[in-house]
Structures are given as structure tokens and as C-alpha cells.
Amino acid sequence: MDSRSDIENSPDIESNFNTSSRRSISSILSKASHGNSIRESGLGHSGSKPVRDGSRGADSEAFSISQKEIDEEDARLVYVNDPVKTNERFEYTGNSIQTGKYSVFTFLPKNLFEQFHRVAYIYFLVIAVLNQLPQLAVFGRGASILPLAFVLLVTAIKDAYEDYRRHKSDRIENNRLAWVLVNEQFQLKKWKEILVGDIVKVHANETLPCDMVLLSTSDPTGVAYVQTINLDGESNLKTRYAKQETLLKVPEKDRISGLIKCEKPNRNIYGFQANMDIDGKRLSLGPSNIVLRGCELKNTSWALGVVVYAGRETKAMLNSSGAPSKRSWLETRMNSEIIKLSIFLIALCAIVSVLAAIWLKQQEDELDYMPFYRKLDFSKGDGKGDDYNYYGWGMEIVFTFLMSVIVFQIMIPISLYISMELVRAGQAYFMIQDTDMFDEASHSRFQCRALNINEDLGQIKYIFSDKTGTLTENKMEFQCASIWGVDYSGGKAISQKEQVGYCVNVDGKVLSPKMKVEVDSDLLQLARSGYDTEEGRHIHNFFLVLAACNTIVPLFIDTSDPNVKLIDYQGESPDEQALAYAAAAYGFMLIERTSGHIVIDVQGERQRFNVLGLHEFDSDRKRMSVILGCPDNTVVLLVKGADTTMFSVINKTLNMNIVQATEEHIHAYSSLGLRTLVVGARELSVSEFEQWQSSFEAASTALIGRAALLRKVASNVENNLCLLGASGIEDKLQKGVPEAIESLRTAGIKVWVLTGDKQETAISIGYSSKLLTSEMKQIIINSNSKESCKKRLDESLVTVSGLSQETGGSSGAGVRLVALIIDGTSLVYILDSELEEQLFELSRNCSVVLCCRVAPLQKAGIVALVKRRSPDMTLAIGDGANDVSMIQMADVGVGISGQEGRQAVMASDFAMGQFRFLVPLLFVHGHWNYQRMGYMILYNFYRNAVFVLILFWYVLYTCYSLTTAINEWSSVLYSVIYTSLPTIVVAILDKDLSRRTLLKYPQLYGAGLRQECYNSKLFWLIMMDTLWQSVAVFFIPLLAYWKSNINIWSIGDLWTLAIVILVNIHLALDVIRWSWITHAAIWGSIVATFICVVVIDAIPSLPYYWAIFHVAGAVEFWLCLLLIIITALVPRFLVKVLCQYYNPSDVQIAREFEKSGIHRESEAGQIEMNPIDNHPQRQ
């Protein structure tokens, strides 16, 4: 920072300016703009909110609240240094934050209310309540409520622990200390005690406790540097400014008072509108004058600010919402299976009720003396009994039905829900720990932000991807330039080693750019020639715009040599940084920026320009401009922006050959995949500048309609420009992107790229990323009307149909050779119209879709189009705020933690560092998660159904009295302890195929697309197998102990043990990869069941005391167990062997190759896969 101060305090700095060179540029610009009047524009003109002093425009589409005009009623009044008066009329929120969901008093009711959103929980609650009625009591009252209570308790403990951690974090945050002005002295106060209206002092490297309007800083010009990495993930420093009118005030000596009238709290971290009345003046405040909670003060000793938003009303807290809540396809589909099971349950209950009604009619005359159905109570001994334990034939049927529901209740597996949560948590842990998805560049791990859709990763059919920062690195490098119609892209490049000598000497200090840029030798020579030639003058003006027209902040970094410092250009845009480094490489080095001026070293001569105004780059105007005051009293307007908007404001009376040549060069650059920007400038006359200045000041201080007025000011000044040239910047592909896209397409996944870049740039990136191939037939739709869109869509559908017929029709070979390329203008006429159906039919037959020049909301519209008209799963991946709507719209949203902040990550379900990590995420973890979860759900249905059917068979042999041989504690523990752990362990650890195989053969991902692991056919096959197994379990002991004197509790223990052993061995037969944990879980559950049965039967107070010991001592007991296992599992085993032998799936074939140890490419490459496209429709 010393060098900056030396430059600024140099007494002869004005004499160092090259005034002759500036007069030359002024004369050139004056020729370009001579005789051209300002073009007026209405408020509807595409523009942005212009701001001065390097602030960022509030143009984010995701946060549009602050774009609304502020009226008097909507304004917040903040009295500076008077928190009492500020909160007198409206008691604003204090600075205490609370991210916890519950309090001690609200936890129980609120948590239970949230948990009972699951309909199954309400079902089990009703069952438990019914069991409390004496007429319906089947199990003990405590035992009946235990399963639901256990599930609710486990979930409540998990939620309580998570909330405790949030409360703990809140306490730490609220008790941090800050310096607050109290009675004209700064005192330490806790953050939670700070109020709106307080003046707070923040020191270097401290975190800001609330949103504050800057009053003064340690820098004499009022500049403060803040790092917003905690807010939006961007590590670059941002400049914020205090107003000159408040800079010199010393709070300890001068009484600071004033009134700030600002907008109400909103989520827009890039927008702020306010006025400040102080010392009789009204000052306008914008985004550059506010610093936000969570930011850190950097490179500034201290800063003073007045609190305008505190606590939960700060922009950071308003943006701290979690990932959107989504439900997986499997969980949604599971509801239909639960409905089927419910119907089956009702059918069983109805059968029991009907049979009971028939039996009651047949035994009507004998009911008086039956132990369970006697009408009369003879206990009084008078021979006349009262009605007892009988409620009439009709009510008995109703009670029988309700009692059947209670007995058969576990047909709906309540433990499945908590098992799924635990399995997803385990799967998430292994995804997070996967080193193949660890990004070395950013040192970031994979993030699993939504635990409830892990299995959806194995069923993705459509991927919608952003380009910049997602497929590319978003690290820009200057490659070439077109200046005054001359292309400088084919010259000899100078290596970085030859450029090391380029530097600037300032008071004995050597300043050198941190980043080196490959320069064109011819262009460098011309840039150094200055104004000796006409070509040199144009080059001089071009690079002067690149160095000055930005919001770059130059920071100085110490090196090992104390006399050498590196200049690090900090900016909010990678494009701006690349252009600033390029200008420095060609001799135009920005070395200082303050709130009022910039200093540029031009070929060794320091020149100072006063920054009179700045219109920031935004997504609407797609250009930015800066108004500079030169030492010769001339005022110039420098503009750079996208070609689509720049050529509309170029002076058409100029040499059109220059314009035409520049357009051709831009097209060539775009074809190479380069990002292009057009550069222009003009001189402002005295009257033009005065008109702009008065309009800008009036618009800046307006409280009502400020945004519209500022847009009009920007529209009026940015026109009639002299075209200086264009730049080409390369955004390199991320590592592994071509291979990743090729693998995704091989797996049958359709990749769509949605980008705001030019069509030529997008196509070039498509080829380099292997998204497009030379064999593909390209269908391009660039239409400017609805009629032309319809015509082009009809023609394209005919073309695709013809290609399909030529290549075999249904084989699908033809459709894979078609790529659709469409621009945003065409989508304006297609989306939300009757043409959507045609676009979808066309895109469905294309393997690649490339959308260019699309707006953020159009990205979401395209995803919504596919979701509405296709049952297939969608995934959206992006890295910027403009991708948020697309990420939230897709079934699965993935955020890239890249160069554009954390908005995409915060809105996503999963986050990672590189696009290529999609391959292991989908092919490995997605496949495993889908296969495991699908199996676990079906296994839980089977496990509970076989238990219910045994109870059903027993009811048929006990006069439909709904008594049970299996004791109530075993019934409760069956789903909770006996059989729950093995399926959870297997669903977390089992792997049907190795990582190597899944990555080597992308076609294996088709198992999820074809729904091989979970479908209606599998469900009904498992139910048939369940029926057979229940028959084996029930009737083998029944026949073995027929007419014996064994009691019901003893045979009930036999059935309990048989079921547990059977379902665990059933599970063991399906385990592919064993580990000691799997062995412990499966065999340990069987041992635990034996122990529990023995312990329960050893309690004297229970009716089934010593039941297991009565039966287990005989050899028949153990023979029955063995015969049950063999009889129940042999048919299933035989069917499984036959199916795998005669009709194996891709996964089974690949598994056999793994078992055989065949890994040579020549042999393994011969695996023939099933067609991926022929997958069943989702229901």
C-alpha cells in the first residue's frame, strides 16, 4: 500500500500526465461524435440501474425485491446515532439471530406436528388408539404404542440434536463483541445488543455484525475493501465507499446526526436504495455505500457505519434459506405400493370379518357357553346372567374388522421410513468421503445438501447444464483483439519468460502484474509506438478503455524481494480481470483506484483520470460505461459490452467497413469458442456532460422512481459511440469434461447445454467438449417470429422422421445423430405456447440440445417443459446465480462451487467442484443408491407381509377370534430389533458391481433408467414369493405338532424364530459383497432374536413364561426350523438361477465377468448390453 500512497501524494503527479496523447484521443473521439445529438429513450428501454463509484447494479433476477420503487410508506427511517428515536415509532428487529427451529416449549408440539405430516404415522396412531379400547384390545396397551413411539423418538432426538447445534452456533454468534458508539465513546457491546441506528466501528479482518451504511474509513478517500466470501462465496475484494460529507466527522468529538430513508429489508445482496439527510444536504446512497453482515473488512484499518438492518432482517439472514424440499421418485412410487398393501390389508380384514360372521351365525345357539362369545354371565349363581362380552352380530363383525386391522397393522412397515432416513445418511457419508469427488483446486469435498433424493441420482435421463463455469473453468485468458478493423490473432506470441521484464518503476519500487498474458509481438510493438502512427493511436485508445472501463481494484502483494511488488487485480468479473491484465501486458497498467480517480501507467507515464460516473455492467443492458475527466478538461465516455447491444448504440455514420470487419472478426472468435466484448467510446461536450450530471444527480437522490430515472439516464448517454474494436477471451474447458459428456451420452443420458453465449461460441465449445460430433445432423432454429418458429419446427420434425426411417426406424440409431441448436429469441415464442409440444417432440428425438442466448428464467422454463411432458428424471447443474431457477426446477439440482459465488450451491441438492464429478456421482453412487434403496423397500414389504400372513393363517384356525400365538413383545420387536438392522447395513454397504466396472461400462447405468430394481412386476413377484414362504413357515410346524399338547406360546416362539431366520437368510442370499459388518448384522440379528425370546419367556409375570424351553428341548423343533428354511427358499433360489441363466440383466452379466476375473479389454469389451432407450414409462 506504500506505493499507492506515494503516487497519490506525489506533488508533481499532474505534470507527469501525457496531455498531448489525451488531446489526441479527444480529437479522435470528437470527430466520431461531431454533429450527433443524444438519442432520447423511453423508460422501457433495456437498461440498468446506473451507479457511481464502482457499485454493482441490482440486476439479479433471483432477487428482484429491491428493484421496486420506494414510496414514502415503504421507506424505513433510521436516525443516525439515535437508536432510541429510530425504534420509537417502529421497533425494528434487534441484532440477535435465531436459526433454530424450536424452543424448549415449542419442541414437542411442533416436532410432532411436522412428523405427523407422514400419513403412515397417522395410520399407526389410529391403530394404537383403537388398541386402547377394551372391546378392540389385541396387544397390551403399552406394546401397541411402542413401534410408533420408537420411530417418533428417534426422529425427535435427531431433530433435537440438529437444533441444539443451531442454538449453540447462535449463542456464539450473538455473544461476539463489537465497538459501538455510546455517549460519544466507543464501547464493547455484544452483537445481540446492537440496535438499528447505532454507529459501529469495525477494524481490519473483523466480521461485520450487521448491515451498515458507511460513514467514514481509515482511507482519506473513504474507500473500504470487504470480502464477501461468507455471503456469496466470492473471494475477490469489493470496494465500498463512504460519502465525502461524512468522511471528516469524528464521532468522539463531533455529534453525528442525520436521517436515512431506505428501502425495507429484502434479499437482494446486490441492491440498495436510500437517501441520507445530513447537515442540510440530501445524499443518495446505493449498493456501494452499504456493507453487509458476514463480510470481512480487508486492507482497511477501520470503518465506521450506521446500522440500517439488524438480526434476521439483514440480507445475509434473509438469504440463509436451506435447499429446496424434494421427494424422491422411489418414495413417491412407494406410496402406490403402500396403497396396494393397504387394499390387501383391507381384503384380509374383510375375509376374516366375513368368515367370522358366517361362523357366528352357524354357532349362534352355542354362544352362551363358549369362552370367548358367551352371551350370559353365570358368575352370580342365580341362573340368570347378564349380557357379557357380546355386542350383537353386527357389532361383532365391525369389531372383528377393526381388531383385524390392529393385528395385521405391520403390513404397512412403519420402520421403513426411519430405515430410509438412516440409509440415506449412510449413503451421503460415503458420497462426501469419496476422494474421486474431492476438488484439489478449491480443496472442497462433495456436499450432500438434500438427503431425501439420493436414489434419484441413479435414474437421471436428462441433464441440463450451464456452460460458463460449469463446463468451463470461468478463468478468462485474453487471446486476441480486433482493433479498428484489423485482426490481431495470427501474430507471433511472446512467451511468458520473455515478458518477465515488463514492469513499472514507482519511487524505487518495481510493480509487475501478478498474472502473465501471452501477447502478440506485432500488437505489442504497435502499442509501444504510441501516437507515431494512426494504427498506434487506435491501439492506444483501445487498451486505454480496457484499463479504465472496469471496477477493478489493484492490490499490491509483497514478494521475497522488498523492492518488487506484484499487482493483483481484484474484480467481481473474471472477464474484467482478464482484460485488465491484458491491458497491463501491453503497457496500460492500472495502478490505483479511489472513489474519485484512477491512475494508469501508460507506457511508463502515469496518467490520472477523474471518475465522474459509472454505469455498471448488468444482464439487461449487457454493457458498462465509465465517464472520465481528463486533465485537459475534456470528458470522455468509455463503453464495453456484448455485441448484441453494442452495435445498436454505435454511430452508423462512421466507416461501415470498420463495423463490418469487426463483426466478421467477432464471428471468427466465437467460432473458436472465445468470449467476445465490443469496445467503444466518444467525447461528451460540455452541454452533454452537464445534462448527464444534472440528470444523474436528480435520479440518484430521487426516493420514488429512482430505478426508472437512472435507467433513462444510462439510455440517454450510451449512444452514438465510436467503435474501437473487440476482444477475444478464452474460457478453457474444465479437466475431464469431454470424457464426462461422452460417458453420459453412452449411458443413454441426454445432455442439454443452456448458455447465454453466442451461438458460434456455444457450438465451438460443443465440439471441443464432445457434446457435438461431426457425424451429427445439426438442426438450427433462429427465428424472429412465432410463425417462422412453427414453420422451422415442422420442417425439423420432418427431417428427424426422415433420418429415423433411413437408419432403421425403431432401432434408434438415427435419432442419436441429431443435435438441436436453438436460440433464446426463438424460445420466447415457443415456451408457454402451443409450440411447446412440437419442440418437445423434436428434442425428444435428439441426443443433444444446445440452447444459446437464453435468459435465466428461460433455463427454468426449458426444464419445466421436459418435466411436464416427460416422466423421466431431470438434473440441472450450474455455478452462478443465473442458474438458481433452473437448479430448483429440476428433480435434482447440482451446484458447482466455482468462480461465481455460492448462490447455485445454496439452492442446490448436491454441490461439487467439477463437472466431471457427475460421472462417479451418477454411475457409481447413483447406481448403488438406487439399487440398494429399491431392494430395501421391496424387502421391507416382503419382511412384514410374511409376518402378517402367518398371523392370518393362524386366525383361520382359531374361530376368527383374532388371538395370536406370537406374543405381543415379539410382534413389536420384529420390525424394530429382530430384522431392521441387517437391511439398513446391507442398504448402506452392499455393492452389486465394483466402481471400476460401473465407470468402465456406462451402459450399466441403464438399469436405473429401465427401473430394473423397483417396479410393479417385481412387487407382485415378491408378494407371490411371500405367500409361498408364509405357507411354509405356518403349516410345517402346524402339521408337525398337530394333535400334540404343545401350547400356543411355544409354537408361537417357533414361528417367531423361523420367520427371523428365514428373512435374514433370504437377505443373505441377495448380498453381493460381504464385510464383517454385514456378517455381524445378519447373523447377530438371529442370535439377538434367540436371546430376546429366551429373556421374554423367562419373565414369570408374563403368560408365556417358559414357553420356549418347553419346545426347544426336542429335536422336532430344530428339524422344523431347518425344513422351513429349505422349503421356503428353494423355489425362490431355483427361479433366480433360471432367470439369471436364460435371461440375465446387464448387471448380472457384468457381475459374472467380475467373478471370473476377466478384466482384459479385448474380452470385457464383448459384453452386450440391453438397449437403454427401451425403458418402461414411469407411473
Spatial CB neighbours of 586, under 8 Å, sequence gap ≥ 6: 519, 523, 524, 527, 539, 543
Helix axes 534-548, 521-528, angle to 10 degrees: 100
Residue 3: DSSP 8-state? H
Distances (CA, A) of 1 to 288, 566, 594, 809, 937: 22, 11, 13, 70, 64
> What are residue 281's DSSP bridge partners?
278
**Would you list the DSSP string of 668-715?**
HHHHTTEEEEEEEEEEEPHHHHHHHHHHHHHHHH-SSSHHHHHHHHHH
Round to the nearest angstrom and report the end-to-end CA distance of the chain: 65
Amino acid at 714: A
Spatial CB neighbours of 1135, under 8 Å, sequence gap ≥ 6: none
Strands 519-520 and 199-203, bridge-based pairing? unpaired
Specify whether the backbone of 1163 is left (phi greater than 0), alpha (psi in -120 to 50) or beta. Answer: alpha
510: enclosing H helix or E strand: strand 509-513
For the chain, how are helix, strand and coil distributed in percent, rounded to 5?
50, 20, 30
- E-strand ranges in 228-369 read 237-241, 259-262, 274-278, 281-285, 290-291, 296-298, 302-309
Q: Could you identify the residue written with the cell 448484441?
A: 644
Return the number of other C-beta atoms located less than 10 Å from residue 712's C-beta: 21
Closest C-alpha among 577, 613, 797 to residue 692: 613
Residue 328: DSSP 8-state? -
Q: Which residues of 945-969 are buried (b: 16+ CB within 10 A; e: fewer)?
A: bbbbbbbbbbbeeebbbbebbbbbb
**Would you list the DSSP string of 1063-1128?**
HHHHHHHH-SS--HHHHHHHHHHHHHHHHHHHHHHT-TTSTTTTHHHHHHTSHHHHHHHHHHHHHH
The span from the CA of 257 to the CA of 264, in Å, is: 21
The span from the CA of 754 to the CA of 824, in Å, is: 10
The span from the CA of 103 to the CA of 101, in Å, is: 7
Cβ distance 363 to 373 under 8 Å?
yes
Spatial CB neighbours of 259, under 8 Å, sequence gap ≥ 6: 77, 78, 79, 80, 276, 277, 278
The span from the CA of 793 to the CA of 816, in Å, is: 18
Q: Quick one: 1117 exposed, middle or buried, by C-beta within 10 A (0-12, 13-18, 19+)?
A: buried
Closest C-alpha among 154, 917, 985, 28 to residue 531: 28
Dmax over CA atoms of the chain, in Å, equals 134
Instruction: Show which residues are catalytic.
Output: 466
Strands 818-823 and 848-852, bridge-based pairing? parallel
Closest C-alpha among 88, 262, 255 to residue 181: 255
Alpha helices (H) along 433-495: none
How many CA atoms are closer than 13 Å to the CA of 338, on its beta-carbon side? 20
Q: Quick one: 1065 exposed, middle or buried, by C-beta within 10 A (0-12, 13-18, 19+)?
A: middle
3-state SS string over 869-886? HCCCEEEEEECCHHHHHH
Alpha helices (H) along 702-785: 706-717, 737-746, 759-768
